[in-house]
A and B are shown apart, each in its own frame.
Chain A
Amino acid sequence: MVRAAEVAATVTDPELPMVTLAELGILRDVRETDDGVEVTITPTYSGCPAMEAIQADVLTALRRAGYERAHVRTLLAPAWTTDWISAEGKAKLAAAGIAPPGPAPRRGSGPVPLTLGVRDEKIACPRCGEESTERLAAFGATACRELRRCPACREPFEHVKEI
């Protein structure tokens, strides 16, 4: 029987099927206890509708692997950050044409700084590698992505936002 942790780690994200929940840093813990398998996941965004699908997918995968008794625990704190996406996960995103996130913003004490106008950031084009690309829209097809465009190859692409 395959270990429960290995089964859960192979489940892919429903919206980003090229990466696994483990690579995204959503899967926090898998434990085999007397009460069955306890899987701990952390939501990406508060309203991410994929979380329900993710829970169902994990439980289905475990059941197919022979783990009839399993449940999912939600972990709210610490809040998910794109820094938890593994190097392998970022490479897979880039290979699929989605620019992976850079380091998440670090904030000191005091109010959250306001960003007016163009942010100073370098997001490389996942197709041609051009280092300077422009943002088309801060919100994309899912909560975690934004739309960008490359001035060199002129292709639009998605980017996983740093949070």
Chain B
Amino acid sequence: MSFDDAYQSLTDHDDDARWAYGTGFSDPLAGVPTALPDGVDGAALAAYCLMIGDDALIMSHRLQQWVTRAPELEDEMALANIGLDLLGQARLLLTRAGEAEGAGRDEDALAYLRDASDFRHVRLVERADADFAHLIARLLVFATWRLALLDRLSASRDPVLAAIGAKGVKEVAYHRDYAAGWTVRLGDGTDLSHQRMQAAVDEVWPLLGELFEPHATELALAGVAVDPSTVRAECDAVFSQVLHAATLDTPAAPPASGVSTTVSAVTGGAVLSEGAVLVPAPTGGAASGDASARLGGRGRDGVHGAELGEILEELQGLARANPGGVW
């Protein structure tokens, strides 16, 4: 059959109310066998899915904020597409988290009704971008890291994570090439673009430490989750190749646990409230054994900058003001 637009096809077959927010869509894992593999703890698997699901969700939100602000129309389409891929990955992972948790929360409950301290993404993804170069530097780091993680994840003992990983690799490979291309174009461009790209790289690099520091949850799920320290060398090789082609200097390697340096490293005008910590993380469960968790510094433990508050206000405001709202 034919419809004038995709939305019409969504709505013609029933008289159901439309959601005022949220997907209102069917379960993205409908029909996928979701039994837990033998010996895998549901709570730990849920915690891990939240980590890499929140990475995708929050990065997707930041990318969407660039639509109507990118230098060229083609780049707005690119950033929207990249954000959409990540949102799709987030939907699958949050749904998997809710199922593994077994408390009846679905993707919408997890995206719209959690407090800041319950988000488990790395702090790289929540940062506001001072300029386009800053976004490109963050995307280069994020996509390179996530591509390596998803590639390893495709061999996970959890068949759902393995499927999400294998599918995501195809998508994120494009994201990385896009960010790498712009890094070279700006770095090896004019004096001004070189200067701003270098400044962006210098600002983002101190956030790398957190990406490769294994979390207790990841270590407890050997064979299911990926230990991010195992992808460090692979990522460094890519960074080195891209920065060299872009005639940019590689900033000094950040300390393994770079939290105290991350909060003072950024000086961009658009990055406000630097270093503000919203809510102390409730340390407990799998996270309590981690040294930096005791210091209360990692995004993976729910410690975030004030910027996350701004994101969640935008992301969750309608859902929280009108719980279950339909029209």
Question: Do chains A and B stick together as partners?
Answer: yes
A residues within 8 Å of B by Cβ?
Answer: 11-12, 14-15, 17, 40, 43, 45-50, 52-53, 55-57, 59-61, 63-64, 71-80, 111-112, 114-117, 136-141, 143, 147, 161, 163
B77: which of A63, A75, A141 is its contact (CB, 8 Å)?
A141
Structural contact, A139 and B74, CB atoms closer than 8 A: yes
When distances are taken between beta carbons in the complex, the residues of chain A under 8 Å from B30 are 72-74
Nearest-CB residue, chain B, relative to A143: B81
Could you tell me the distance between the alpha carbons of A11 and B176 in the complex, rounded to whole angstroms?
Answer: 34
Instruction: Name which of B1-9, B35-43, B289-297 contacts chain A.
Output: B1-9
The residue in chain B whose Cβ has the minimal distance to the Cβ of A141 is B77
Neighbour of A59 across the interface among B13, B159, B162, CB < 8 A: B13
Give the total of B residues in contact with A, Cβ under 8 Å.
59
- Report the minimum CB–CB distance from B52 to chain A (whole Å): 13
**A116 contacts B184, C-beta separation under 8 Å:** yes
Sample 23 A-B pairs with CB under 8 A, ordered by A number: A46-B88, A46-B91, A46-B168, A47-B88, A59-B13, A61-B1, A64-B1, A72-B30, A72-B31, A74-B29, A76-B160, A76-B167, A77-B163, A79-B166, A111-B238, A114-B241, A116-B177, A116-B181, A116-B242, A138-B177, A139-B174, A140-B77, A143-B85
Choose one: B6, B159, B174, B234; the contact of A138 (CB below 8 Å): B174
Q: Which chain B residues lie closer than 8 Å to A45 at the CB level?
A: 84-85, 88, 167, 171
- Rounded to whole angstroms, the CA-CA distance of A131 and B167 in the bound complex is 30
> B177 contacts A14, CB within 8 Å?
no
**Judging by beta carbons under 8 Å apart, are B74 and A46 in contact?**
no
Closest 7 CB pairs of A and B: A47-B88, A73-B31, A46-B88, A77-B163, A76-B163, A137-B74, A139-B78
The smallest C-beta distance from B19 to any residue of chain A, in angstroms, reads 12
Give residues in B with beta carbon < 8 Å to A: 1-3, 6-7, 9-10, 12-13, 25-26, 28-32, 74-75, 77-78, 80-82, 84-89, 91-92, 147-148, 151, 159-160, 162-164, 166-171, 173-174, 176-178, 180-181, 184, 234, 237-238, 241-242, 245
A63, closest chain B residue (CB): B13
> Could you say which residues of chain B place their CB within 8 Å of the CB of A11?
1
Cβ distance B151 to chain A, nearest Cβ, rounded Å:
6
Q: In the bound complex, what is the Cα–Cα distance between A47 and B87 (angstroms)? A: 6
Q: How far is B87's CA from A159's CA once the two chains are assembled, in angstroms?
A: 23
Given contacts A14-B9, A116-B241, contact A138 B1 (CB under 8 A): no
CB distance from B59 to the nearest CB of A (A): 13
Interface majority SS on A: helix, strand, loop or mixed? loop
Q: Are B151 and A112 in contact (CB under 8 A)?
A: yes
Take A14-B6, A75-B31 as given contacts and tell me if A46 and B184 are in contact as well, using a CB distance cutoff of 8 Å.
no
Note all chain A residues with C-beta closer than 8 A to B184.
116-117
Whole-angstrom CA separation of A76 from B154 in the bound complex = 12
- Cβ B1 vs Cβ A57 within 8 A: yes
B31 touches A49 (CB 8 A): no
The answer to whether B78 touches A137 (Cβ under 8 A) is yes
User: Whole-angstrom distance between the alpha carbons of A79 and B170 in the complex?
Assistant: 9
Among B26, B92, B159, contact of A46 (Cβ-Cβ < 8 Å) = B92
Given contacts A56-B13, A76-B32, A76-B160, is CB(A137)–CB(B77) below 8 Å? Answer: yes
Shortest A112–chain B CB gap in Å is 5
Are the CB atoms of A56 and B10 closer together than 8 Å?
yes
A52 to chain B, nearest CB (A): 5
> For A12, what are the chain B residues with a Cβ–Cβ distance below 8 Å?
1-2
Closest to A113 in B: B173
- The answer to whether B84 and A47 touch across the interface, beta carbons within 8 angstroms, is yes
Contacts of A63 in B (CB 8 A): 13
A74 in contact with B28 (CB, 8 Å): yes
Query: Least Cβ distance of A149 to chain B in Å?
Result: 12
Q: Report chain B residues within 8 Å CB of A64.
A: 1
Closest to A11 in B: B1
The answer to whether B238 and A79 touch across the interface, beta carbons within 8 angstroms, is no
Is there an interface contact between B32 and A74, defined as CB atoms closer than 8 Å? Answer: yes
B170 touching A163 by the CB < 8 A rule?
yes
On whether the beta carbons of B151 and A111 are closer than 8 Å, the reply is yes
Q: In the assembly, what is the distance between CA of A23 and CA of B3, in Å?
A: 19
For B1, the chain A residues whose CB sits under 8 A away are: 11-12, 57, 60-61, 64
Decide yes or no: A49 and B170 within 8 Å by CB, A77-B162, A79-B163 being known contacts.
no
Most buried by A among B3, B81, B87, B162: B81
